[in-house]
Structure 1
Amino acid sequence: MKIKGLTAFLLFFSISIFSQTKEELAAKDFFWGTNDTYKNVTEVPQKWTNESAVILYKNENYDFHKFGKNVTYTSSIRQRIKLLDKAAVEEFSEFAFKKRFRSDKGRFSWKEKGNNYIGVKIVKPNGTEIEIDVEEESVEVDGETKVAIANLEIGDIIDYYFYRLEPFKTTYAFGFNPVETYLGEEYPVVDFKLFFETENDFFINFNSFNGAPKLTEIPTEKRSIRRYELVASDIEKIQSTRWSYPLLELPSYKFQVYFARSGKFEDRALAFLPEKEDIIKTSVSKDEVLELYDNRFKPDGDVGDVKRFFKKKTFANDAEKVTEAYYFMRHYYLTRFVEAMIVKDAEIMSYPFMNYGNPVFIQNQKQFVRHFTEFLKREKIKYEIVVAKKRYDGSIDDLLIEKNVNVLIKVKTATPLYAELFSIHTNINEFSPLIEGTDVYLLSPTRNRIDVIEKGKLPVSRHLDNETKKDITVSLNDDFSGMNLTSVNSYKGHSKKDEQYERLMFTDYVTEDYAKYETASFIELIKRKKDKIRYKKELDALAEKIKAKQVERFEKSAKAEFQVEDIEDYTYEINETGRYALDSYLKFTESFKIKNALIKKAGPNYILEIGKLIGGQIDLEEKERQRTSNIYTTNARSFNYNITLNIPEGYTVNGLDKLNKTIDNETGAFISSAKVEGNQLIISTSKQYKHNFEPNTNWSKMIAFLDEANQFTNEKILLKKK
């Protein structure tokens, strides 16, 4: 548990506090009882006396037990921290949490209530201990419970624990959330212990990485009970670093516990389980990957809808056929139900899906892979199933936890195509940029089963493939009190998906899909005319309401991008949705007025902060300029701006020399140019991140173009009166 995450940790686990129950006393005794060997530890090692704070002891615990259908999961953390400066005192003077929670685990989670307990005490330099009465000292503010730690001073030790007891019921195999973290904190740690306890029917996958200590087993009084611990000491602090993947470079550990009662449920578990409960699984072989996914991803499904759609169509090749099938399935098995989902969520109709008969609705990875490969099988098109891991989680050779797997389909056309479980805007050949360039397993079928597994590598997109492009036109008011700005914004590749979810209304894309595939809309499926009129009116009203809130967000976004306090007369229009090819653009136009910003009078002339029109740039702090970790970004990408300023009549432009810049090296670039053509100033800028990874030795080269881009935002031009 990282220190900055203390408040988030408490918020997440929703605390329920009761007065000295048996469970609460047990929690307190677990950490602060007679077996507490750290209660007298107060001294900081000499080498860390100049730190803001030092963690004298950190202890994380996980406990898994069962009785019949009942499972009890207990997780807890304790930290004993010495505060050495004012900043640390301020950080720990208040924290927030929510009371009470319901378990999200098991089959009956809506009924199961869990209890959580928190303890906080202050140890003064003279040894005096002050235990905080959390219930008495807490106050409710905006749905949160806040506790202020009064009279906290430099030199104090804050000793807190959080203890979560979560019961639930399950009759089937169940995987607990994986734990994947690194040892270091933002403060140095003197001593650390990870401890967990399990019993029969709980299977453990665990491994340490990058030099972290190994897990060791502790002898127990019963064969059915198992205890393990990982112990470390003298852990140096780590600093949060931009574009870093700590799990790849820092000492870390990962584990997951899986519950499966019998051989039958073990076979059904979607996990790489060890052979027996008393074996700690530390790695996963190729054969185990093949065995798990063979049955799970066998082709299956009714693809008659696709065949009927293709009945009157011809295709130049298999790639064209597969592409068309993907987009048809995206619509027929997902987007044609979007209106019904919205109607249900808005409680306009209790069960709107009855209008579709018995539709196929693909909503998970397994359904998609089986359905799509059934189509490929019937069309006699060869394919492979790709099993990949995200770059930040390490190599496929270190695969340990099934939840970390990304699965997609590689279609073996002349130029391979990739198909991933579709969401509303997913394109063919689109898959997570976090698995680009990674080594993967490729599973392929012979006859009626998946029985071949080989190593492969996924392609990597270029910075030219993932583009943000803006064509901005600016006209100044006659009295120079403001400006009119129109921006045509275009996004493609990985740069467009988030923008599509933000910018597109459901009416923008379902209408497009209905027309393309000649399917009936939700309203058209309603049989009674009276109901059609009623529900259309309600759906249209809902769309208008969503649109109004959407425009409010866009106005705030425009103000933030151009660093102005206010805009007026904002308008917005979708030009192209970009939903039928990864390299097609999402394009929209927005226009608005800016008043009393970016322009300053200088005698008879005016100064225009033209550089701010490319939006905010990265302004590196001094501490960021020295770097030891490698540089990992999500994907290569480019940002291209074309700015056209209509020069006011009677004025010329001075200062173009500062707008012409070129920094271009192997890591990236910032290139800008400016020229006057007729009565227009035309500025073009291009910022490029050429790769998704750079070794730390290239950091100075990245700094060069990042600084140049940031400096450009400070550049101004002079509009000089003739």
Structure 2
Amino acid sequence: MCYNIKNKIAFVFTLCILSISSNAQFSDEDMLDNLAINATPLWKELEPAFVKNDVPEKYKEESAIVFGYKRNVTIDKKSRSGFFTKGERSLLFFENVHFKIKLNDKSAVQTFTEIYFRYRTAEDGFSAKITKPDGTITTVLLNDAVAASATENIPEFYKSFFDQENGGQSWYFKVAIPDLEPNDILEYVTITKSKLDVSYAGYIEFSPQYEVCNKAYPVLFNQITIETDDKSFFKSLALNGAPDFKKEATNDSEFYRYTFTDTDRGVEKDVNFVNTLLTNPVTKFQVIYANKANTKGALIGEKGEIKKRFTKEELAKKAWEDYVQVGGYAYNQYGVTVGAFEKALWKDMVKIGAKKWDENEFIEKAYYRLRNIVVYRDTYMNDKMFSYIFRAILNEKDIPSDLVISISNTVGKLKDILFDQEIKYCTKVNGKLYFNATDYSNPGELVENLLGNEAYIIREPEKNSQEIIDFTFPNATALENNSNYEFTSTLNKDMSTLSVSRTSTYKGIAKTRNISDALKYTTYMLDDYKYYGGDDPRENMKEKQEDEYYKSINAVKESYKEQKPILVKNNLQGEYDNTVKFKNFSVTNDGRSLKKQELIFTEEFELSGMVRKAGKKYLVNVIGLVGSQLQIRKEERVRKYDINVGIAKSYFWTINFQIPEGYTAEGIAELATEVTNETGTYASTAVEKNGVITIRIKKLYKSANVAKEKWADMLAFLDAAYNNSFKYILLKPKN
């Protein structure tokens, strides 16, 4: 349960850390003793889940089965346990975990060959045991543990709530279990203790948690207990059939306990086209610490209650209160507020003629000016801050605008918003929508996770009322989200590799998905000032400054010249799962302008693995240039949930293949196929003319959401695409 500090109340905090170097080897005997001794009490756990080793018949064919996964998190301001010295103004975190799993096959064994544990303070504890099929129990030795890297992804079953976004990798170690085998039982216990200095903190939001009940393996017992003092608020909402947290009695009137328990939860077989948080059983929850009475704008309930939902009116009021405080947030590390930054930005825009622009020009250039700011920031603005600055800039010109709030369609429904972090903000001006800017976005371009969403237009409250208008974001059709590929390909003289030139054109959400990789290691940012009518940065430079500028730019270009081919090659090899030799990459249009919104670039490369030799003949998988197509396995052909494709989308491929001189081609007609129905289309045609085979392919996902009853229809065109991608053209010598 990681913390996220609200900027609405100035906050300086210090994590009091008794830690070891992230590069340390695990050789200190005192550390080993501390871990073992501190973990000992947890082995006395009498929960039945950790006593029995019997696997239910229905789970015996699963890769593994989790007998028990129990987590207890205590957040305490008063230091009841005496862990820290009396009088310290710290929020204390105590986390106990007990985990037990039986590994039924080699795949599961491979997953758990390494185990992770934390050692941050002398109070941390960890111990793991292996139970063999004959009942023999051995303790996992930690002597050879090594520090986990700073970028390592600590698996879910090992990482504490407190460390999830707190840079906790520097406190984690991992150790291999060399003798782990199928049918072994792995069990571990861990205790971690942490503290957070809240001397100057008035309000702290710990990061929202989404407990998805279905794991990679069946779970017989899954329990989370959250204990908080009377300075904290608790929110929880169970969705899609998940169990909710229950409030339990405690012996201390100033202490609250909330417990989530889930049992006998199997594995979901639907793995493709599933929006997990909208379909699978999930319980979301959050703890908020408030040391002051002023919690204006906070999305909270009452202390001691489990707040489950917010009404439309509560949500709109809290969202507005939170939004208007953005002006007082710190914009940067130098203490400049967002409000002050906006005023400075407005002055800069006035200098380049902003007062003379008409309304439409002003709106467009204001957006591009903010995008330019984003281009040179280390991080993106959040959408609340962007909306605040954008609307404030528009207000300088007396251009009215509306604030719109919604939720990502990958997270939930508007009525189920529980966390501040779930609220998405954007601006509506003159009937057009303006979303948070990225390095690559244009004014008015739609955002994937808000397509078709329910939303509210919220206005400033007046006295005891607030105007709230229901609104629905526009959607996009399959043809508006289009990926178009044009290939020219020839067989190289070695008759074993293809020489390929591919021009890719993207528009709509397809462009958004691909533009980051396409423009990475290109110098799109150098001319970005032109979009908002800014001055060339070189105009006011002295000769020495200009020389330094060009030196820096040339150094960047040289670096990009080395890195871009590596990126393109790696991407192509990942796409084709074959060896690629990079030849060239060029951008025709970067898609960062309203006048030219399509992203167009060309890759030239040589591709192996597409040709088979059969005596004097050759089999060429020309149609395989479309890339890998989705295979739906046998166990996925019975559908439980409705189908979520993400977006309606379309793909067009045109492949021109030059038949080598002295050869004829057979099998062209067999490439033609077509399946079309309510859910989608796959169609392929192939003709030969003047020694060139031209294959045209169309693939459409007609709707983002499809009822599960239509799964057979979707399988029809998915199977057609998959099967067709493995067909070959036969090249035969003429003589």
Q: Which residue matches 1:703? A: 715
Equivalent-residue separation in structure 1 for 2:401 and 2:465 (angstroms): 11
The 1:319–1:218 alpha-carbon spacing in structure 2 relative to 1, beyond 3 Å, is same
1:629 aligns with 2:629: no
The answer as to whether partners of 1:444 and 1:450 remain within 8 angstroms in 2 is no
The 1:375–1:535 alpha-carbon spacing in structure 2 relative to 1, beyond 3 Å, is closer
Q: Which residue matches 2:403? A: 385
What letter matches 1:64 in structure 2?
Answer: I
Paired residues for 1:5-20 under 5 Å: 19=30
Paired residues for 1:123-138 under 5 Å: 123-124=131-132, 128-134=136-142, 136-138=143-145
Equivalent-residue separation in structure 1 for 2:439 and 2:459 (angstroms): 28
Q: Which residue matches 1:353? A: none
The answer as to whether partners of 1:306 and 1:329 remain within 8 angstroms in 2 is no
Secondary structure of the equivalent of 1:262? coil
Instruction: Tell me by how many angstroms 1:306 deviates.
Output: 3.9
Secondary structure of the equivalent of 1:325? helix
Q: Which residue matches 2:374? A: 334
1:675 aligns with 2:687: yes
Instruction: Tell me by how many angstroms 1:47 deviates.
Output: 4.1
Paired residues for 1:568-647 under 5 Å: 570-581=583-594, 584-594=597-607, 597-601=609-613, 605-647=617-659
The 1:382–1:177 alpha-carbon spacing in structure 2 relative to 1, beyond 3 Å, is same
Instruction: Tell me by how many angstroms 1:54 deviates.
Output: 2.8
Q: Which residue matches 1:715? A: 727
Instruction: Tell me by how many angstroms 1:556 deviates.
Output: 2.6
2:70 counterpart (31, 48, 59)? 59
Equivalent-residue separation in structure 2 for 1:158 and 1:373 (angstroms): 56
What letter matches 1:120 in structure 2?
Answer: A
The 1:21–1:592 alpha-carbon spacing in structure 2 relative to 1, beyond 3 Å, is closer
Alpha-carbon displacement from aligned partner over 1:133-164 (angstroms, at most 9, x marks no partner): 32x25356988854233544555432212333
The 1:290–1:578 alpha-carbon spacing in structure 2 relative to 1, beyond 3 Å, is same
Paired residues for 1:274-423 under 5 Å: 274=301, 276-298=302-324, 301-302=342-343, 303-309=346-352, 311=354, 321-331=362-372, 333-335=373-375, 337=376, 363-411=381-429, 413=430, 416-423=431-438
1:474 aligns with 2:482: no
Alpha-carbon displacement from aligned partner over 1:364-386 (angstroms, at most 9, x marks no partner): 43432222212333545443222
Equivalent-residue separation in structure 2 for 1:576 and 1:611 (angstroms): 27
Equivalent-residue separation in structure 2 for 1:384 and 1:187 (angstroms): 47
What letter matches 1:565 in structure 2?
Answer: T
Instruction: Tell me by how many angstroms 1:622 deviates.
Output: 1.9
Alpha-carbon displacement from aligned partner over 1:308-330 (angstroms, at most 9, x marks no partner): 54558665xx5565334322332
Equivalent-residue separation in structure 2 for 1:236 and 1:369 (angstroms): 43
The answer as to whether partners of 1:16 and 1:117 remain within 8 angstroms in 2 is no
1:555 counterpart (566, 569, 581)? 569
Q: Which residue matches 2:6? A: none
Instruction: Tell me by how many angstroms 1:683 deviates.
Output: 1.7
The answer as to whether partners of 1:65 and 1:71 remain within 8 angstroms in 2 is yes
Q: Which residue matches 2:159? A: none
Equivalent-residue separation in structure 1 for 2:192 and 2:634 (angstroms): 41
1:69 aligns with 2:85: no
The answer as to whether partners of 2:365 and 2:533 remain within 8 angstroms in 1 is no
Does 19-28 or 209-218 show the bigger shift? Answer: 19-28
Paired residues for 1:165-176 under 5 Å: 165-170=193-198, 171-172=200-201, 173-176=203-206
The answer as to whether partners of 1:204 and 1:258 remain within 8 angstroms in 2 is yes
Equivalent-residue separation in structure 1 for 2:95 and 2:141 (angstroms): 22
**What is the TM-score when the length of structure 2 is the normalising length?**
0.81
1:191 aligns with 2:221: yes
Equivalent-residue separation in structure 2 for 1:49 and 1:717 (angstroms): 45
What letter matches 1:598 in structure 2?
Answer: M
Does 373-382 or 443-452 show the bigger shift? Answer: 443-452
Instruction: Tell me by how many angstroms 1:706 deviates.
Output: 1.4
The 1:231–1:27 alpha-carbon spacing in structure 2 relative to 1, beyond 3 Å, is farther
Equivalent-residue separation in structure 2 for 1:642 and 1:599 (angstroms): 20
The 1:62–1:633 alpha-carbon spacing in structure 2 relative to 1, beyond 3 Å, is farther
Alpha-carbon displacement from aligned partner over 1:218-268 (angstroms, at most 9, x marks no partner): 22221111112122323233346122123323332110101110113x22x
Equivalent-residue separation in structure 2 for 1:260 and 1:285 (angstroms): 22
The 1:510–1:154 alpha-carbon spacing in structure 2 relative to 1, beyond 3 Å, is closer
The answer as to whether partners of 1:408 and 1:418 remain within 8 angstroms in 2 is yes
Alpha-carbon displacement from aligned partner over 1:41-80 (angstroms, at most 9, x marks no partner): 2333344444443322221222211245311223343222
The 1:501–1:218 alpha-carbon spacing in structure 2 relative to 1, beyond 3 Å, is same
The answer as to whether partners of 1:675 and 1:681 remain within 8 angstroms in 2 is yes
Alpha-carbon displacement from aligned partner over 1:76-121 (angstroms, at most 9, x marks no partner): 43222234455544543x21447656xxxxxxxxxxx797543211
Provide structure 1 residue ranges, at least 5 long, that are not aligned to the other structure. Answer: 2-12, 102-112, 342-360
Equivalent-residue separation in structure 1 for 2:472 and 2:314 (angstroms): 19
Q: Which residue matches 2:243? A: 213
Instruction: Tell me by how many angstroms 1:633 deviates.
Output: 2.3
Does 23-32 or 157-166 show the bigger shift? Answer: 23-32
Instruction: Tell me by how many angstroms 1:197 deviates.
Output: 0.3
Instruction: Tell me by how many angstroms 1:195 deviates.
Output: 0.8
Alpha-carbon displacement from aligned partner over 1:1-52 (angstroms, at most 9, x marks no partner): 9xxxxxxxxxxx9999874699746852552136666553233334444444
The answer as to whether partners of 1:676 and 1:682 remain within 8 angstroms in 2 is yes
Instruction: Tell me by how many angstroms 1:425 deviates.
Output: 0.8
Please identify runs of 4+ aligned residues in structure 1 that moved more than 6 A. Answer: 13-18, 20-23, 140-144, 446-450
- Aligned CA-pair RMSD: 3.5
Q: Which residue matches 2:10? A: none
Secondary structure of the equivalent of 1:214? coil
Equivalent-residue separation in structure 1 for 2:322 and 2:470 (angstroms): 20
Does 286-295 or 151-160 show the bigger shift? Answer: 151-160
Equivalent-residue separation in structure 1 for 2:38 and 2:455 (angstroms): 44
Equivalent-residue separation in structure 1 for 2:713 and 2:190 (angstroms): 45
1:121 aligns with 2:129: yes
**What is the TM-score when the length of structure 1 is the normalising length?**
0.83
Q: Which residue matches 1:544? A: 558
The answer as to whether partners of 1:57 and 1:192 remain within 8 angstroms in 2 is yes
Identity of aligned residues (%): 25
Alpha-carbon displacement from aligned partner over 1:444-477 (angstroms, at most 9, x marks no partner): 3489999321322211111111111111112344
The answer as to whether partners of 2:219 and 2:265 remain within 8 angstroms in 1 is yes
Equivalent-residue separation in structure 2 for 1:199 and 1:604 (angstroms): 80
Secondary structure of the equivalent of 1:212? coil
2:516 counterpart (501, 505, 526)? 501
Provide structure 2 residue ranges, at least 5 long, that are not aligned to the other structure. Answer: 2-21, 79-87, 153-172, 328-338
Does 579-588 or 615-624 show the bigger shift? Answer: 579-588
The 1:70–1:486 alpha-carbon spacing in structure 2 relative to 1, beyond 3 Å, is same
Secondary structure of the equivalent of 2:488? strand
Equivalent-residue separation in structure 2 for 1:604 and 1:179 (angstroms): 62
The 1:327–1:516 alpha-carbon spacing in structure 2 relative to 1, beyond 3 Å, is closer
Equivalent-residue separation in structure 2 for 1:216 and 1:98 (angstroms): 29
1:95 aligns with 2:114: yes
Instruction: Tell me by how many angstroms 1:681 deviates.
Output: 2.3
Equivalent-residue separation in structure 2 for 1:560 and 1:153 (angstroms): 32
Q: Which residue matches 1:691? A: 703
Q: Which residue matches 2:458? A: 443
Secondary structure of the equivalent of 1:437? coil
Q: Which residue matches 2:258? A: 228
The 1:312–1:185 alpha-carbon spacing in structure 2 relative to 1, beyond 3 Å, is closer
